[in-house]
Structure 1
Amino acid sequence: MRRLTHFIKTHKKKSIVLGVLLICYFFCLPNDLFKDPTATVIMSKNNDLLGAQIASDGQWRFPHNDSVPEKFKVCIVQFEDEYFYKHPGFNPVSIFKALKDNISSGEVKRGGSTLTQQVIRLSRKGQARTYLEKLKEIILASRLEFRDSKENILAYYSSNAPFGGNVVGLDAAAWRYFNRDAYQLSWAESATLAVLPNAPSLIYPGKNQERLLEKRNHLLKKLLENTIIDKLTYELSIAEDLPKKPYALPQIAPHLLQKVAQKNKGERIQTTIDTKLQERVNHIVKTQYNILKQNEIHNAAVLVLDVHTREVLAYIGNSPTDRTHQKDVDIIDKPRSTGSILKPFLYAAMLDAGDLLPNTLVADIPSQFGSYNPENFNKEFDGVVPASRALSRSLNVPAVRMLQDFGLDRFHHYLKQLELKDLKYNANHYGLSLILGGAESNLWDLCKSYAALSSTLNHFSETSSEYYTNEFVEPTFMASKRIDFGKKSTDKTLFDAASIYLTYESLKKVNRPEGDESWAFFDDSKQIAWKTGTSFGFRDAWAIGTTKDYVVGVWVGNADGEGRPGLVGVQTAAPILFDVFDILPNSDWFAKPFDEMQQATICSKSGHRASSICDDTEDTYIQISGLKTEPCPYHILAHVDATETYQVNSSCEELNAIKHKPWFVLSPLKAYYYKTKNPFYKPLPKLRLDCMGENQVAMDFIYPKTNNSVFLPKDFDGDTNDLILKIAHSKPESSVYWYIDERYVGTTKDIHELAIVPKAGEHLITVVDEFGNEAKRKISISE
C-alpha cells in the first residue's frame, strides 16, 4: 500500500493516465451486449415449445437463454476453443500462431479467436476484421471475462451465434434443423450445430453436405479420442444423417401466441398450457371442422380452464381453416350474440333472490310484450313447465317471462357484476331479448363466469362454509402468475352456494334429451353441468360445461357473422364440448352446500312450497332464501260428488255425501297447452246442473295475440285466405258468441274456433259466453 502511495506521489501523470485507462477499461463494455430484436416464444407449463413468432428483423432469433445443454457445450469448446476454461478471454499462443500463418501467407487465414472474442465480435456486428479491431476484441473479451462467468459467456455465444440463413442461436437452430429442443439433441446433432457458426453457409439444403459431414465427423472423432464419448456412441453418431431442410417451428397454440405477442413481444413466456391436452383438442377441432365445413361453417373456438387454479389449459382461438375464412382471427375474446347461454345466470339470480324455487311452475304460453313476440325453438308450448325443466330444455318463452317477473334492470345488474366486458349498454337498450341473445359476450368472459360459480361451490365445501372475496377473478395463461382469490368471508360474492348448486343440478339434466337429436357423443358416466345456445339467425352456436375441476367452452360459427341452417348449439358445439370432456379426467360431483339450504315440504305438482291442501308433497332441500316464496297457488279445495264427476254444494247434495278433494287447476289458456303434453291432467269438474251457485268460468284468446298484425295472403284464384280465431274456455261445452267491431259474426260450442275474412285495417274482436263473461282483442289486418 505504501509503495502504491509512493508511486502515485512520484509519478502523478502516469498515475492519472493509468487511472483514466482503468476507468475506460471498466466502462468499455456495455451492459447489454446484444440489442437485436428477438422472436416471441411461448412454452407450455412443462416447457415444451408451443410456437414462436419471428423477430421484427426477419430472423429466427430466440430470446437469450442462460442455460446451455451439456452436449453442445462440450462440442463447441472442443471445436472452437479447447482452452476456454483456462484463458482470460484471449489465447496468446493461438494469436501468435494465427499471426505467423497470416504473415507467411500474405492474407488472413486464421483468426485465433477464443469463444469470448467471438462473443464480442458478434456483439460488434459489421466491424471490419482488421488488426485494430482484433485488439479491441481482445480488450473487451478480457473485460467480459472479469464481469461474467464462463457459463454466461457460453450462453451469450449459443444464443447469438449464426446457424445459417435467418437462423440465429442454438434454440432456434435445434428446432429449425432437428425439430426438437436443444436439450434433446444427440451427440451427432450437437456436433453438427457446433461446427455451423464457423461456416453457417454449409447448412443450405442440398449444398456442401460433404464438407459439413466431414467437419461434423472430425469433431466426433476428436470427442472419441478425448474419451468424451465411447466407441459405440461414436459409430452410431457418424451413422446419423445430416439435416436435409429446415423444419417449420411448432404452431400448437398460434392464437395464444398472437395474444402473448401483444404485450410480451420478443419475450420467452412460459404459459399454463398443457401440451398434450392442447394437441388433442386441436385434433378434435380439426376433425369437427372437416364435418362442419361441408355446411359452410368454417370457424370454431375452444377454451379449457382449470377451476381450482383458474389457469388456461387449452386455447384454440380458431379452426384450421384458410385466410378467406379468417383463420388468423382469435375468436375467444371477440363479442358474439349470446343466444341462450345467459339463462343459467337468470335462474341462479332468481333462486338467490328468493323469487323462485327450483321446480316452480312458470308459464309457457303464447306471449307478447309490446312488439316483442318470443317463441320456443320447437314452436310449441307446454302451458306451464317447472323452472328447472325450462332451463334444461332451454325454453325461450318461460325465460322471457321469468326475466319480466324478475326485472330487467335487476338482472342487468347481476350481469354487470359478472364483469362481462361486452355488455356495454343499459338494460333498456337490450330489453327482454337480453335473455335470448340480444346482448353480446365472448367465450373468455363466459368461461370465466362459469369457472367462478364452480369455484364458489368448491371453496364453500372446502372451507367452513365460507366464500372468497375475489372469486370472479380473470383467468391466466401466464405460468408466472398465481391467482389471488382474496380473503375468506361469510358473505356471498354474487350468488349463494345453494343457488349455484341447484342451477347446476338443473343443467346436469340437460344430459337427458327428449328429441330426435343424435346424442351418440354423450358419455352418461360423466356428471357435467352444461348449457348450449344458438343466436338469432343461426349465426352463433355455443356450448359451455363445467365439472368440479374443469370448464370447457365452445363457440362455432362463421367469423364474418354469416348464418347457416343447422348452426345450432346442440348439433355443432355440443359434440366438440363432450369430445373435450372425454379426454379430461373424470370429476366427482359438487358437494351439496347444506349450510345454505333448508329442508322444506314442496308441492310435487307445482314446485311451490306446499299449502295445506296440496295432496302430493315431498321433503327436499331448497335455498334458504326460497323459504319466503308463496305457497302453492294452483291447488284449490274442490267440493265434488262421490264419483268426482261434478262439483256440488249443499244446495244439491247432502253434506255427508260431498267429497272435499284438493284439485290442481290451471287457467284456460295454460290448461289448453298443458293437457296436450300431460294427458292425465283433469280439469276442474263443472257444477252439476241441479246445484245453485256461481260457476267459475274463464276464457282467453289463443289467437290472435295481443295487438297482433296479420297479413292475409291470397290463393291461386285470387281469393283472400281465412283468418282462424281461437279461444280457450274453462267450460268448452258453453256457447260463445263472436263479434267483430260490435257486429255479430257467429257462435261456437265445444271447439271454439271461427274462420273469418276481415277487411284490411284495425278491428276489435269481442267474445261473450252464455254466462256473460267477455274478452276482447285488437288486431290489424293487411293484405
Structure 2
Amino acid sequence: MILVLLIAYYLCLPKELFKNPKATVITSRSNELLGALIAQDGQWRFPKNDSVPEKFKICILQFEDEYFYNHPGFNPVSIFKALKSNLSSGEVKRGGSTLTQQVIRLSRQGQSRTYFEKFKELILATRLEFRLSKDDILNLYASYAPFGGNVVGIEAASWRYFNRNASHLSWAESATLAVLPNAPSLIYPGRNQKLLLDKRNRLLKKLYDNETIDKLTYELSIAEGLPQKPYPLPQIAPHLLQKIAKTNRGERVKTSIKIDLQEQANAIVKQHHDLLKQNEIHNLSVLVLDVKTREVLTYIGNSPTDKTHQNSVDIIDKPRSTGSILKPFLYAAMLDAGDLLPNTLVADVPTQFGSYQPENYNKTYDGAVHANDALSRSLNVPMVRMLQEFGLDRFYHYLKALQLKDLKYNANHYGLSLILGGAESNLWDLCKSYAAMASTLNHFNSNSSRYFTNEFSQPIYNSNQTANFGKLTSEKTVFDAASIYLTFESMKQVNRPESDESWEYYDSSQEIAWKTGTSFGFRDAWAIGTTQDYVVGVWVGNADGEGRPGLVGVQTAAPIMFEIFDLLPKGDWFAKPYDEMIEVSICKKSGYRASSICDATEMNYIQASGKKTGPCPFHKLVHLDASERYQVNSSCEAVSSITNTPWFILPPLQAYYYKTQNPYYKPLPPFRIDCTESSGISMEFIYPNQQSTIYLPKGFDGKTNELILKVAHSKPELELYWYIDEQYIGNTKDIHDMAVLPSPGEHYITVIDELGNELKHRITISE
C-alpha cells in the first residue's frame, strides 16, 4: 500500500500544469515589446517569462507568502490561523494558502473552495515542490495569476496598467500589482480606488518597516497615483506580429528587429502617408535587411491607414507589378553571360515587336545610349531591345534562379514586357535578391575569391536563427562578382530625388546602388537600394490596385528610401573584385572593346566573361581627299593622295536621333561629285513603324490632320521618291519628311532613292 501510495503521489501532478492558450508576443533583438496578439480565449496571457522582476518578487512575497522559501509547499502556522478564524466566524474568511498552493489552485480552474479541495491542493503543492525549484514556482504564479478583467500574468498586467516592461516598474507600481491577484474582481484598476490604494500603501509601509525601502522611496511611492484604465499594448510591428502568429501562435518570439530603427521608420512612413493620402495614395510598405547577417531590421507591412483602405493587409509579401525594378537583373545577366560590356552602345530608337511597341517614359529617344546609362536612366526601349537580343528564355532562367516565387508562368506568357512590369513580384523577394547580390560581392572579396552555395537564402526575422549561406565554392551562384559590381556601379549613378540631387557634394552622404520602378497605369511605385551593409526596399501604392497620377517611384518611394538610409550607419563602397575582372582597351565612343581604328580609347576593367565580346562595330575607315571634305576612291583620286581616317558611324535611324542629343556627332562627308560611289547605302523609316495602326486626329476646323512620313537615309543629300500603294506622291531631298492624307484602310508605303534602293512599310489607317 505504501508503494501504491508513493506511485499515486508521484503521478498525481500533471506534467503540464497550465494548458491555457497564450498571447503571441514578439520582442525586438534587445527584448523590448514590439506587439502582442491576444490569446484565443480572449485573455491577455503572455507566455511564461524566464524570471520574475525583483521588485515584484519582493512585494508579492511580503504580501502573500513571507515564508515561501522556508516551507515545503504549505505553511502549518498559516493553515492553523486560517482554520481557527474560519471556525470562529462560521464562514471562510481566510485561506492560509501559500504561493505554491495558489499555483495549484490556478491550474485547477473552476474547483470549489472546500476543505477537501484545500487538502488536495496541499498534497499537490508538496509534489510540485519536489518537481520545481522555488524560483520556478514563483515564476508560474507571476505568469498565471489574475490581475483583473482579462489580464493574466505580471508581464501583461505591467503593459496594460503601466505601459512598460515589468522590470521597469517602480516600487509603488510593483506593490499595486502585488495586491491585485488577492481580489482581482473587487479592486480592478479604475474602480474601488480607495480600497486598492489602502492595500498598496499598507504593503509599502511594510516594506518600509522591514527596511526594504528607505523613507524617501516610501514617501515618493505613496504619493504615486493609481492606474485608471488599461493601456493598449504596443503595436510597433503589427504586420510582422501577424506573420509570426501564423507559425508561432501563442509563443514569445524574440525577433531581429532594431526597435529604434523600426520606430524611426514608422515615423517616416506616417509622415509620408499623411502627404500621399492627399493624392488618394493610401498604402506603403518598407523592409530593411542586414546584408551580412540577412536579418530583418525593420518590417513595416502597411501604412497607418484605416480599415477602408485595408490597413491590416501585409503588402511586403504580396505580388505587385514590378515596373522597372527587374532591369538591374537583366543588365547583370548580360554582363555575366559576356553578351555586354558596361558602356556598350545600345539602340534607343522607335521600336515595334509585332503589336508590342515599348516607349521611354519621357517619350523621347537618344538614338544610341551606353548600356549603363540606359540602366541608370531607366530607359525602356533600350532595355526591351537588350532583352530581345539576350533572349527571353535565358533571362527568365536567371530570374528563376533568384527564387522570385511570384513568377508562376512560363517566359512566353510574359513576353518582352517582362522587363517593364509585365510580371509580378513582392518586396520580400526583391529585397532578398538585392541583398544576396550585395552579399555575393562581399563574400567574394573576403573569402579569397570564392562564393557561397546558398547565397540567395531567405531573410530571417527570428533572432534565434542564423543565415545558412552554405559551403564555399569556386563556382558562382547566379551572377559572378564582377557583373554584380559593375551593375552596382551603374545603379549608383541613378539621379536622386530633388531633395538628394547634390548628395555627392556632402561628406555625410553615402554611395547607394538603387533602382526605382513604376508599373503601368501608375499603380505601383518601387525604390530598392543597397550598400555593403544594408538593403532598404519601399513600395507605395493602393492595396486595391487603383492607379493615381504622380504615383512614380522616384517621386514617392525613393524619398522614403533615402530618409531611412540616413538613419543607418554609413559604410564604405563595395571593393572591386579584381580576380573576376580583366583590363582591356575600350573605345570611348562606343563602349565596345577597341578595334585598331578606334580614335579614342581608354583602359578599363571589365568582367572576365566580357573578353568574348567583339570589337567596336561603329568605327570604320573612310577614304577622304586631301581637304578631308569629301569621300573619294580610286575611281577619282590617286591612291597616294587618299587620306584614310577612322570615322564613328551609326546606322541611319540611330544617327537621326543621336545627333539631336550629341551635337558633336559628325555624319560621313559626301562623295566628291566626280567619284563613283561604291559604299553601301542604308535607309530606315523613322515613322511610322512597320505594320502599325494609325489614328488620324481632327483639328479644330473639323478637318483630318495629315500623316507625316519620316525616313532616315545614310546619304540625306540623295533624292527620295515616295509612293502609296504604287501611286507616286512626291519626292524629298536632305530632309525626308512627307505629309500625306491616306484613306482609311491598309496601305503600302514605298520609298526609292535615286540609286534604286527601296524601302517598303505596311500600315493601317483607322477611322
- TM-score category of the 2 structures, normalised to the smaller one: over 0.9
Question: Does residue 425 of structure 1 match 2:409?
Answer: yes
Choose which of 514, 518, 525 in structure 1 pairs with 2:498.
Answer: 518
Structure 1 runs not aligned, ≥5 long? 1-16
Question: Does residue 771 of structure 1 match 2:751?
Answer: no
Which residue identity does 2:372 align to in structure 1?
A: S
Question: Does residue 166 of structure 1 match 2:146?
Answer: no
Which residue identity does 1:778 align to in structure 2?
A: R
Question: Does residue 466 of structure 1 match 2:446?
Answer: no
Choose which of 25, 28, 32 in structure 1 pairs with 2:12.
Answer: 28
Partners of 1:521 and 1:579 within 8 A in 2: no
State the 1:716 CA deviation.
Answer: 4.6
* Matched residue, 1:484: 468
Which residue identity does 2:130 align to in structure 1?
A: F
- For 1:201, what is the secondary structure of its paired residue? coil
For 1:151-203, what per-residue CA distance to the aligned partner results, in whole angstroms no more than 9, with x for missing partners?
01100100000001110000000101111111111111111100010021355
State the 1:717 CA deviation.
Answer: 4.4
* Matched residue, 1:150: 134
Choose which of 680, 697, 707 in structure 1 pairs with 2:691.
Answer: 707
2-structure distance, mates of 1:693, 1:179 = 89
* Matched residue, 2:299: 315
Choose which of 54, 74, 82 in structure 1 pairs with 2:66.
Answer: 82
- For 1:739, what is the secondary structure of its paired residue? strand
For 1:437-448, what aligned pairs fall within 5 Å after superposition?
437-448=421-432
Choose which of 111, 116, 127 in structure 2 pairs with 1:127.
Answer: 111
Partners of 1:521 and 1:575 within 8 A in 2: no
Question: Does residue 650 of structure 1 match 2:634?
Answer: yes
* Matched residue, 2:309: 325
1-structure distance, mates of 2:415, 2:502 = 35
State the 1:334 CA deviation.
Answer: 0.1
* Matched residue, 2:243: 259
Question: Does residue 497 of structure 1 match 2:475?
Answer: no
* Matched residue, 1:449: 433
Partners of 2:522 and 2:550 within 8 A in 1: yes
State the 1:731 CA deviation.
Answer: 2.0
State the 1:642 CA deviation.
Answer: 3.5
2-structure distance, mates of 1:567, 1:746 = 47
* Matched residue, 1:13: none
Distance 1:730 1:225, change over 3 A: same
For 1:540-586, what per-residue CA distance to the aligned partner results, in whole angstroms no more than 9, with x for missing partners?
00000000000000000000000001100000000001000011011
Choose which of 542, 548, 558 in structure 2 pairs with 1:574.
Answer: 558
Choose which of 740, 760, 765 in structure 1 pairs with 2:724.
Answer: 740
1-structure distance, mates of 2:240, 2:628 = 69
Partners of 1:170 and 1:193 within 8 A in 2: yes
Which residue identity does 2:716 align to in structure 1?
A: P
For 1:685-736, what per-residue CA distance to the aligned partner results, in whole angstroms no more than 9, with x for missing partners?
1101122332442211011101101122334544322111111112222211
State the 1:654 CA deviation.
Answer: 4.1
- For 1:649, what is the secondary structure of its paired residue? coil
1-structure distance, mates of 2:321, 2:255 = 29
Using structure 1 for the length normalisation, give the TM-score: 0.96
2-structure distance, mates of 1:369, 1:346 = 19
Partners of 1:191 and 1:220 within 8 A in 2: yes
For 1:358-382, what per-residue CA distance to the aligned partner results, in whole angstroms no more than 9, with x for missing partners?
0000000000001110000000001
1-structure distance, mates of 2:588, 2:553 = 32
* Matched residue, 2:206: 222
Question: Does residue 211 of structure 1 match 2:195?
Answer: yes
Partners of 2:189 and 2:226 within 8 A in 1: no
Partners of 2:155 and 2:165 within 8 A in 1: yes
For 1:375-404, what per-residue CA distance to the aligned partner results, in whole angstroms no more than 9, with x for missing partners?
000000010000000000000000010001
Choose which of 35, 39, 46 in structure 2 pairs with 1:62.
Answer: 46
State the 1:659 CA deviation.
Answer: 2.1
* Matched residue, 1:622: 606
For 1:519-546, what per-residue CA distance to the aligned partner results, in whole angstroms no more than 9, with x for missing partners?
4477432100000000011100000000
Q: Which runs of 4+ in 1 moved over 6 A?
A: none
* Matched residue, 2:80: 96
- For 1:200, what is the secondary structure of its paired residue? coil
2-structure distance, mates of 1:780, 1:437 = 28
Question: Does residue 759 of structure 1 match 2:743?
Answer: yes
State the 1:241 CA deviation.
Answer: 1.4
- For 1:197, what is the secondary structure of its paired residue? helix
User: Comparing 330-339 with 225-234, which one deviates more in the overlay?
Assistant: 225-234
For 1:270-312, what per-residue CA distance to the aligned partner results, in whole angstroms no more than 9, with x for missing partners?
0000000000000111111111111110000000000000000
* Matched residue, 1:386: 370
Which residue identity does 2:658 align to in structure 1?
A: Y
State the 1:228 CA deviation.
Answer: 1.3
- For 2:246, what is the secondary structure of its paired residue? helix
Partners of 1:522 and 1:578 within 8 A in 2: no
For 1:124-172, what per-residue CA distance to the aligned partner results, in whole angstroms no more than 9, with x for missing partners?
1111111111111111111111111100110010000000111000000
Structure 2 runs not aligned, ≥5 long? none
Choose which of 269, 275, 282 in structure 1 pairs with 2:253.
Answer: 269
* Matched residue, 1:4: none
Choose which of 54, 57, 62 in structure 2 pairs with 1:73.
Answer: 57
2-structure distance, mates of 1:127, 1:146 = 23
Question: Does residue 116 of structure 1 match 2:116?
Answer: no
Distance 1:79 1:217, change over 3 A: same
1-structure distance, mates of 2:766, 2:248 = 62
Using structure 2 for the length normalisation, give the TM-score: 0.98
Question: Does residue 245 of structure 1 match 2:229?
Answer: yes
Question: Does residue 607 of structure 1 match 2:587?
Answer: no
Choose which of 505, 518, 523 in structure 2 pairs with 1:534.
Answer: 518
Distance 1:255 1:400, change over 3 A: same
State the 1:518 CA deviation.
Answer: 2.5
Which residue identity does 1:226 align to in structure 2?
A: N
Partners of 1:340 and 1:435 within 8 A in 2: yes
**Identity level (%):** 72
Partners of 1:202 and 1:209 within 8 A in 2: no
Which residue identity does 2:96 align to in structure 1?
A: G
- For 1:191, what is the secondary structure of its paired residue? helix
Partners of 2:722 and 2:750 within 8 A in 1: yes
* Matched residue, 2:532: 548
* Matched residue, 2:667: 683
Choose which of 284, 295, 299 in structure 1 pairs with 2:279.
Answer: 295
Which residue identity does 1:84 align to in structure 2?
A: F
Partners of 2:180 and 2:188 within 8 A in 1: no
> How many residues are aligned here?
763
For 1:333-344, what aligned pairs fall within 5 Å after superposition?
333-344=317-328
Which residue identity does 2:224 align to in structure 1?
A: E
* Matched residue, 2:264: 280
2-structure distance, mates of 1:566, 1:316 = 23
* Matched residue, 2:398: 414
1-structure distance, mates of 2:564, 2:329 = 24
Q: How large is the Cα RMSD of the aligned pairs?
A: 1.2
For 1:386-432, what per-residue CA distance to the aligned partner results, in whole angstroms no more than 9, with x for missing partners?
00000000000000100011000010001000000000110000000
Partners of 1:521 and 1:578 within 8 A in 2: no
- For 1:509, what is the secondary structure of its paired residue? coil
Choose which of 120, 125, 131 in structure 2 pairs with 1:141.
Answer: 125
Partners of 2:190 and 2:227 within 8 A in 1: no
Question: Does residue 634 of structure 1 match 2:585?
Answer: no
2-structure distance, mates of 1:533, 1:671 = 29
2-structure distance, mates of 1:450, 1:589 = 15
2-structure distance, mates of 1:217, 1:623 = 76
